[in-house]
Structure 1
Amino acid sequence: MTVKEVKKGNACALLPLIIFVALFIGAGVLTKDFSNMPLNVAVIIASAVALLMNRKEKFEIKVSIFTKGAGHPNIMLMAIIFILAGAFATVAKGMGAVDSTVNLGLSLLPANLLMVGLFAIGCFISISMGTSMGTVVALAPIGIGIASQTDIPVALTMATVIGGAMFGDNLSMISDTTIAAVRTQHTKMKDKFKVNFFIVLPGAILTAIILGVITRGNKAVIGADFHYELIKILPYIAVLAAALAGVHVLIVLIGGTIFAGGVGLADGSYSFGSFLKTIGEGLMSMEDLAIIALLIGGLVEVIRHNGGIDYLLYTVNSKIKSKKGAEFGIAGLVSAAAIATANNTISIVVTGPLAKSIADEYEIDPRKSASLLDTFAGSWQGILPYGGQMLAAAGLAAISPVSIIPYSFYPILMGGCAILAILNGYPKLGTKSKEVKQVATVPVEE
């Protein structure tokens, strides 16, 4: 069924989604701490409300609908990818890959281009690690050290770290946002990467220029001896190369984990037992996100069954008059969800199915719709003062997250580039990306 053929649907079916957003934002506003309402708790409450609605249907039937949505092959594969990505990131970090990567970049930094170099390092680390939070935690102490030895404001160094982190979070093959965008739009990771890269590259270049201009004349030298081992950086390079070559993401992550563990075993960072333990810790570190993905899959399916998705489609469609309007509609949907949840991954998971329906109706290439979802969600995530990245950086630097916003050049330019890409129909795409078809029992190939 196309968007134009859908019924008006039922606005009341969206009540669980409204409750989900209200719980998260309301708790944050009332307590001035957006971490007081965990996303998984908010989703469980909203799911309970969804299951209690529509009294005409038996509870057992509604539970069946919920579990069908939670167990959809797309959602299940996404959850598996999440936990495998956690295993690789944790194993690589445990054997020193993060420290070596950071120190390699810092050892190559020209003294008068500290901020440009810090941004470039953040871009490389985040695209290798696939996590903006991990990049912020790794680089924030370095940024604080730079600020303490120069006249560069610490808020600027923290914003630079966050900007680099969001660059890779938006593009990395093992980023949960990329995984979510690609899976919901039924396209391939390498195809999405190519389109997304050309959309945000001007923003990254302009950010580097701005950072160079506003910090020109700084001659301070970081007087530390940054130790690194090239062999410990190889797992990141191997994962990036394999993903770009189109190797299935499950093979990439499992192979990357084994490679990183092998390096750790060889240099004594791990014993066989500690290697296995670290894998387990990595799997568990992404358990919460995997569970949230399952719960949201079930919640969205119940909302869909009750007519809520039809209502949204009908409402959005009534405002859309062109392909550009449809692209702005997708951008608006994911932006609203990102602002509400302060979580770019969850916002993509929530709005992805609706964005796919809009993209199909208006013949938007899935590479473009996936890129728009990921880019707008990431842009807001790098600006919101109550976002996890902002809170982490501000907490480590002991400053207000609001003070970082004026220096958030890349996240702002990231969103600006996406807007220009819609207005100008950029990039010009040739043959439409072949969609990844969903099979009921067999995971599809990326």
Structure 2
Amino acid sequence: MSNHEGTKGNLLAFLPLIVFVVLFIGSGMLTNDFSTMPLNVAILIASAIALLMNRKETFSKKVDVFTKSAGHPNIILMAVIFILAGAFAGVAKGMGAVESTVNLGLSLLPANLLMVGLFVIGCFISISMGTSMGTIVALAPIGVGIAGQTEIPVALAMATIVGGAMFGDNLSMISDTTIAAVRTQHTKMKDKFKVNFLIVLPAALITLVILGVLTRGNAVELAGDYPYDWVKILPYLGVLVAALAGTHVLVVLVGGTIFAGVIGLLDGSYQMSSLLQATAEGIMTMEDLAIVSILIGGIIGIIQYNGGIDYLLRMITRNIKSKKGAEFGIAGLVSAADIATANNTIAIIITGPLAKSIADEYGVDPRKSASLLDTFAGCWQGILPYGAQLLAAAGLAAISPVSIMLYSFYPVLMGICCVIAILIGYPKFKRTDDASASISK
């Protein structure tokens, strides 16, 4: 969808998104209660404003743009994932999977290392699965359970999971963001991984230290037994194994729900009627998020059609004059696109070709430009309260996504490490004719 006003773009196109953020976050800050303005109401108001803008187009045309964007395959897939995640979480919780898994964790780990362990597990799972959403869905119920049995804030547990999920999503060889970044910059997966890993490793290590310090004083008394049943833990293990094996996330979630349900029926946790009820209740907990994600997709379509994305591209690229400036330009480009679209994959796809042109013109190594695209997009995606990751974690934990932002240590540190890497020219590259030239630390 192109802008009918030419290539200059239009800043006013972002008004719906601005209204949404002001309504949702502003009202919460004023009242100290982020439930004052329901998320779905705020996004509905923003959607109405989007459809009322641009009087040069007919209302029917704007509705067409909105609905086509809202119905984009990526958006619908995200909505379906939300719904199935709710079903799995509801069924697993009802048959005792969460309690058993949490008790196992409490039995094996010192209380002051629970969040450290949760972050490491999240990193491992997401880098193997290649999806932040799948990681959050699998670990969020466990994080909620751990927080419920300790003095650790639920928001901190969710932010820890989101951080680990973004670590792996940013590095995984099978992540859609990695694939998009590598393809648009014409480099190799393994080379981008090496550069990316060197940049974000300090952020992960610092995050581990912060989590250890923060939760050190929140230790729970471990006196007594924490009973757990290995059979009830199997649904989570099954989901993780299937995901690590590369199974599609939809198959993983449906299979996990059925697996948990069968175990619940066999051990007496469920009758068929109560199993169906638990499934329905789980779905209903995520219906709002599915609707919100669809409406956000429609708003982004209107913003792009009205020239918002064109405006970002023009504003960020016009002052680039050096290699370092080019790297900051690429970073700013994908950051602005992710803030505008709330989807790191789409942000990379939109800005990738222009980033490649900038990198070629100013001599930025394609491994570095691919890393900058993926990392800055992931940084913002792990912070945005209207992004899919925070919405999913907040929905599964029944808390405000804004509360999770306060503990988003890893995404923030990831961004800081990337800025430092640009400033000091890290890592150093030894240029050769081989596309997989070595990296000098």
Task: Calculate the TM-score normalised by the size of structure 2.
Answer: 0.70
Q: After alignment, is 222-231 or 119-128 more displaced? A: 119-128
Letter in 2 for 1:137: V
Alpha-carbon distance in structure 2 between the residues aligned to 1:163 and 1:72? 28
SS in 2 for 1:292: helix
Report how far residue 226 of structure 1 moved. Answer: 0.6
Instruction: Say which of 354, 359, 371 aligns to 2:352.
Output: 359
Contact 2:316 2:329 in 1 (8 A): no
Structure 1 residue 164: Cα displacement:
3.2
Counterpart check, 1:120 vs 2:117: yes
What letter is aligned with 2:44? I
2:131 matched residue in structure 1: none
Distance between the aligned counterparts of 1:317 and 1:253, measured in 2? 42
Partners of 1:220 and 1:39 lie apart in 2 by 34
Q: Report the Cα offset of residue 426 of structure 1.
A: 7.1
Q: What's the offset of the Cα at 1:89? A: 1.9
Q: Distance in 2 between matches of 1:76 and 1:408?
A: 27
What's the counterpart of residue 331 of structure 2? 327
- Kept in 2, the 8 Å contact 1:28–1:37? The answer is yes
* Code of the aligned partner of 2:277: K
Structure 1 residues 132 and 245, CA gap change in structure 2 (3 angstroms): closer
Structure-2 residue corresponding to 1:49: 49
CA positional deviation for 1:199: 6.4
C-alpha spacing 1:243/1:420, structure 2 compared with 1 (3 Å): farther
Distance 1:266 1:201, change over 3 A: farther
Aligned ranges 1:379-390 → 2 under 5 Å = none
Once the 2 structures are TM-superposed, how far is the Cα of residue 288 of structure 1 from its aligned partner?
0.9
Distance change (3 Å), C-alpha of 1:333 and 1:64: closer
Equivalent positions of 1:203-352 (< 5 A) are: 203-209=203-209, 222-319=222-319, 321-323=325-327, 325-331=329-335, 334=338, 348-349=342-343
Post-superposition shift, 1:228?
0.9
Contact 1:132–1:168 (CA under 8 A) maintained in structure 2: no
Change (3 A) 1:68 1:417: same
Q: 1:268 to 1:243 in 2, by over 3 A?
A: same
Aligned length in residues: 386
Aligned to 1:170: 166
Give yes or no for the alignment of 1:67 onto 2:67. yes
Unpaired runs of at least 5, structure 2 = 126-134, 183-188, 357-365, 437-441
Q: How does 1:432-443 map to 2 (within 5 A)?
A: none
Offset of 1:227 from its aligned partner? 0.7
Q: Return 5+ residue gaps in structure 1 as ranges.
A: 145-153, 338-346, 396-400, 433-446
Distance 1:217 1:50 in 2: 47
Closer/same/farther in 2, CA of residues 218 and 312 from structure 1, 3 Å limit: closer
Aligned 8 A contact 1:130 1:172 in 2 = no
* Contact 2:181–2:370 (8 Å) recurs in 1: yes
Distance 1:237 1:199, change over 3 A: farther
The 3 A distance-change label for structure 1 pair 214 and 293 is closer
- Secondary structure at the aligned position of 1:286 is classed as helix
The partner residue of 1:141 within 141, 144, 148 is: 148
SS of residue in 2 equivalent to 1:68:
helix
Preserved contact between residue 243 and residue 249 of structure 1 (Cα < 8 Å)? yes
